[in-house]
Amino acid sequence: MAALKIKKGATSRSAYNLRPTFSDDIERHTLAVVVENEPGVLARVIGLFSGRGYNIESLTVAEVDHMGGLSRITIVTNGTPQVITQITAQLSRIVPVREVHDLTVEGATVERELAMFDVAGTGKKRLEALRLADIFRARVVDSTLKSFIFEITGTPEKIDAFAELMRPLGLRELVRTGVAALPRGE
């Protein structure tokens, strides 16, 4: 390198740092992918992840622009920074993909997930479940004398925490939607 007067990753004249620095740490990233809502588009996105050996922690998809026929896919994935960059580049290559945003890199985000918990129990356990649900601001959306279904919205961590608490109190079944995310306002 001594022969070259340029520093690695920068030029003598420009202030641009052209070479990204990559570490080997595994990071968790939330990606927002806007796609044309044509048949098979989700299969293309999922096939990319399985075909190239990337991970999907969660994935949500729905049409967000009915007139324009655009769907928004939110993917939570993990990998080294190099892998994450590859994932965004590979996603961008898919023809019906309009935009790819790495929300984790682009700034602060609001991330929410909806979950429903079927919790069965009587007596003290039932009361404790109801009390904790209140603390977590979960709503009761179905009730029998022996069970509740709670609906809860929050970050994935909050839902994980609530699930831990419900497990000893009679948790029978749970369903989660996966993460939906938006960047916060400036």
Partner 1 sequence: MTDDMTGARIVVHALREQGVDTVFGYPGGAVLPIYDEIFLQSDIRHVLVRHEQGAVHAAEGYARSTGKPGVVFVTSGPGATNSVTGLTDALMDSIPIVVITGQVPTFLIGSDAFQEADTVGITRPCTKHNWLVKDADRLAPTLHEAFHVAVAGRPGPVLVDIPKDVQFASGRYTKANPSNSQYQPSLTADEASIEALVDAIETAQKPLFYTGGGVINSGIKASKLLCQLVDATRFPITSTLMGLGAYPGSGRCWLGMLGMHGLYEANMAMHDCDLMINVGARFDDRITGRIDAFSPHSTKAHIDIDPSSINKIIHVDIPIIGDTAHVLKAVLAFWQSRGCKTNVEGVSDWWRQISEWQKVDCLAYESSCSTIKPQHALARLEALTQERKDRFICTEVGQHQMWAAQYLKFEEPNHWMTSGGLGTMGYGLPASIGVQLAHPDALVINVAGEASWLMNMQEMGTAVQYNLPVKQFILNNERLGMVRQWQELLHQERYSHSWSEALPDFVKLAEAFGAKGIVCKHPDQLDEVIMEMIEYDGPVLVDCLVEKHENCFPMIPSGKPHNEMLLATSASDDGVDEKGAVMV
Interaction site with partner 1 (CB under 8 A)? 1, 3-6, 8-14, 16, 18-20, 22, 36, 39-40, 43-44, 47, 51, 82, 85-86, 89-90, 92-96, 98
Would you say 4 or 67 has its CB closer to partner 1?
4
Q: Which is nearer to partner 1, 82 or 143 (CB)?
A: 82
What's the closest the beta carbon of residue 51 comes to partner 1, in angstroms?
5
Q: How far is the CB of 60 from partner 1 (least distance, A)?
A: 21
Looking up tokens 């019906």, which residue turns up? Answer: 96
Nearer to partner 1, 5 or 131 (CB): 5
**Rounded least distance, CB 95 to partner 1, Å:** 4
Q: What is the 3-state secondary structure (H, E, C) of the chain?
A: CCCCCCCCCECCCCCCECCCCCCCCCEEEEEEEEEECCCCHHHHHHHHHHHCCCCCCEEEEEEEECCCCEEEEEEEEEECHHHHHHHHHHHHHCCCEEEEEEHHHHCCEEEEEEEEEEEECCHHHHHHHHHHHHHCCCEEEEECCCEEEEEEEECHHHHHHHHHHHHHHCEEEEEECCCEEEECCC
Nearer to partner 1, 43 or 145 (CB): 43
| Residue whose CB is less far from partner 1, 49 or 114 | 49
**Smallest separation, CB 84 to partner 1 (Å):** 11
Q: Residues 60, 179: contact at Cβ < 8 Å?
A: yes
Minimum CB–partner distance for residue 28 and partner 1 (Å) = 20
